[in-house]
Structures are given as structure tokens and as C-alpha cells.
Amino acid sequence: MKIAVPVVDDSLKMAGNAGHTPYFAIFNLKGGMFRSFELEGLRANSKVAGEEDHHGHDEGHTCDHDENDVEHLKAHDTMADAIHDCDYLVVKMACKNTAKSMSNLGIKIKKYNGTEANAQKILMELAPQFT
């Protein structure tokens, strides 16, 4: 099972908004009762390619684009394509367009409400929820 977590860089600090993250950390879930998460690598989020400041959309940003904004929806689909082989996307926040793009590819969204910042530690907290 593969799980994507939006991160700001190779420090694996989780990004606040999945749609505006520069990278996704891709983890492979290992084990049965005693689970572990092996980092496969980072994948660039092509949706934000060329953006200078990825942190400006972290907390409190809401996506106000509707279903008629074709270019914006394509950008979300491009983001989803980057993690097309993942089973889950763990998020602190994701807009309705991100959720729709993920759902179209069968990627389940798992919300994280805790205070931990490190993606690998977050996955350990959520481990029992991955089926």
C-alpha cells in the first residue's frame, strides 16, 4: 500500500495545504500487526511548478474555484496524476477540487488533525486507520 503526504521539502515537514504543496512524500506501508512506513521518495507537485511561495496557501486558504473553472480543475488533476499509484493521501487541509481529483483516481483522503509535523511520525499515529 502506498501513502502520499504533502511535504515542504526533504525534511518531511507536512505542508498545511495539499493542493499547494511543493512535494509529496511517498511511503510504502510494510508489515501486518507491526506496521512501518518506508520512504520511497519525493515527487514534485506539478500543480505548483513555478510558484515562488508555497507557504502562502497553507493554513486558512479556501479554494473558491467552481466546477466551471476548467484550467483550475485540470491543475488539480495534474496534481493527482503525480500520486496516481497511491492508495491514500494524508492531509491537514484539502479543497473540494483536490478531493474530487483524488476520488476520480481511487485515492482515499485521510485527514490529520494532530500537532506532529514530521510525515513519518504522522503516519505512525494514523497506522491503525489504513486498511
pLDDT tens for 10-27 read 999 999 988 889 999 999
Evaluate whether residue 60 is within a structural domain: no
Residue 116 falls inside a structural domain: yes
Which pLDDT score is estimated for 111?
Answer: 96
Name 37's bridge partners: 29
78 within domain boundaries: yes
Output the domain CATH number for residue 115.
3.30.420.130
Total domain count for the chain?
A: 1
pLDDT tens-digit map of 41-98: 999 998 776 555 444 444 444 555 555 556 656 666 788 889 999 999 999 988 888 8
pTM (two decimals): 0.84
Is residue 7 one of the residues assigned to a domain? yes
Query: Is the residue at 6 inside a domain?
Result: yes
Could you report the per-residue pLDDT of 87-124, keeping only the tens digit for each? 999 999 888 888 888 999 999 999 999 999 999 999 99
> How distant, in Å, are the alpha carbons of 2, 8, 12, 31, 80 from that of 19?
19, 12, 16, 30, 9
In a domain, 16, yes or no: yes
- Structural domain for 21, as ranges: 2-48+69-129
In a domain, 73, yes or no: yes
